[in-house]
Chains A and B, each alone.
Chain A
Amino acid sequence: MTTTQALVIDDSRAMRLILGDLLQQLGYQTSEAGDGQQAITLLEGDDTIPSLALVDWNMPVMNGLEFIRAVRQKPCYSNMKLLVVTSEAEVGQMVEALTAGADEYLMKPFSSEALACKLEMMGLQRAQRA
């Protein structure tokens, strides 16, 4: 089942809090993981597939790019939108992320408006609050 849940994957706890807060303001329910591997474990242990994952690039154990490649190989996650949120602003990395299956790319630092704008571009309307 797809819901208005969002998964925040970032090795920085502060960043997870900030992103989680911004997403909650947009009406999302959020869960979080500190690296790609933790995120996969979380996804596999839950019947609910988030409609969105915010993915950092540089993380220990499994980085953002490896996470994107891993989930894009599994058809059950094909509807999950992947937004890379990173301070990596090289065109080459952007292209690499998009080629691997990311839907969009947001460069840090960013405003809450820029995040909302990206979600809208990705076809994700502001989630309805319960």
Chain B
Amino acid sequence: MSCIDEHSYLTLCNLLSDQIALSLPPDKVYLAEARLQNLARQHTHGDINALIEKASTVADDALRTELVEAMAINETYFFRDPILSQSFLDTMVPALLEKRRRDKTLRIWSAACSTGQEAYSVAMLLDQHFPQLKEWEVTLIASDFSQSALNKAQQGCYGLNEMNRGLPARNMALYFEQQGLDWQAKPAIRERISFQKINLVREWPDSLPVFDIVLLRNVLLYFSMEDRQRVLARVRKHTANDGYLLLGSTESLEKTAGFVPAIPGNHRPFYQPA
């Protein structure tokens, strides 16, 4: 395996920061080497330094995209962290059912959905626990910067290991069907989610509405402080004043972020606009 030299690693860090605001620490050279190996074999005879150079200098968007996607962190699984179910079942949806009872609309955004498990978890939670929402106009948007992750999310097709991680067997039987060795979400659940390509640190679509619930989980921790503040300010504009923001279970926000804990005294990871 070729080793990444200092100059190339710096170039890679700058590229990732520019493209997806991923702040790669100096001690992750080994990670970059492991993740870029295959791509280097395909494009630059195994030379990772040449791959980074090519992706950063040549007007080859496709290669740049491939490199960035190879470095992206796509870790996700169904019903990740108990706070997801707890906050939906105990607080957010019951409160919103009351607050939105006149216009009967509910808008939810899974803002860095990766391969989609979070969005499907939400769709299953709503279906199982809030049957009254069948009469409502429920919008569930799942977005990610990575087209390959989105393609997988949209297909809703998962392998055994992904199915084994976090998905209750009852949900597997109810909402998925076998496709050879894989399992695919049934159309009835897939059709409830609208998948969109959105890079959080680039332009957002004008059509993106204001949401009642924004899930921005395990994303901000990879951003620099500056990018984090910038993204949060935009998320605030797309969160209803009485809406909610849910982060990853180990994440928390600074007081200046424009959000306050949804449950007073409990400083993470569940917030409302200040």
Q: Which residues of B contact A113 (CB under 8 A)?
A: 165
Specify which of A89, A98, A102, A111 is in contact with B161 (CB 8 Å cutoff): A111
Q: Which residues of A contact B166 (CB under 8 A)?
A: 117, 121
- Map CB proximity to A onto B154-166 as digits: 1 under 8 Å, 0 otherwise: 0000001101111
Nearest opposing residue in chain B for A97, CB measure: B169
Nearest opposing residue in chain A for B163, CB measure: A107
A72 near B: Cβ within 8 Å? no
Q: Which residues of B contact A104 (CB under 8 A)?
A: 168-169
Minimum CB–CB distance for B75 against chain A, Å: 11
Docked complex Cα distance between A95 and B169 (Å): 8
Number of interface residues of B (CB under 8 A): 15
- Map CB proximity to B onto A29-71 as digits: 1 under 8 Å, 0 otherwise: 0000000000000000000000000000000000000000000
A127 near B: Cβ within 8 Å? no
A91 and B164 within 8 A (CB)? no
Minimum CB–CB distance for B82 against chain A, Å: 8
B161 and A114 within 8 A (CB)? yes
A94 near B: Cβ within 8 Å? yes
Minimum CB–CB distance for A76 against chain B, Å: 25
A sample of 12 more A-B contacts (CB under 8 A), given A117-B164, A117-B165, A121-B79, is A91-B172, A91-B177, A95-B173, A98-B169, A105-B169, A105-B172, A107-B163, A110-B164, A111-B165, A113-B165, A117-B77, A118-B164
Instruction: Jot down 19 A-B pairs with beta carbons below 8 A, ordered by A.
Output: A91-B172, A91-B173, A91-B178, A94-B169, A94-B172, A95-B173, A98-B173, A102-B169, A104-B169, A105-B169, A107-B160, A110-B160, A110-B164, A111-B164, A113-B165, A114-B161, A117-B166, A121-B166, A121-B168
A interface residues with partner B (beta carbon < 8 Å)? 89-91, 94-95, 97-98, 102, 104-107, 109-111, 113-114, 117-118, 121
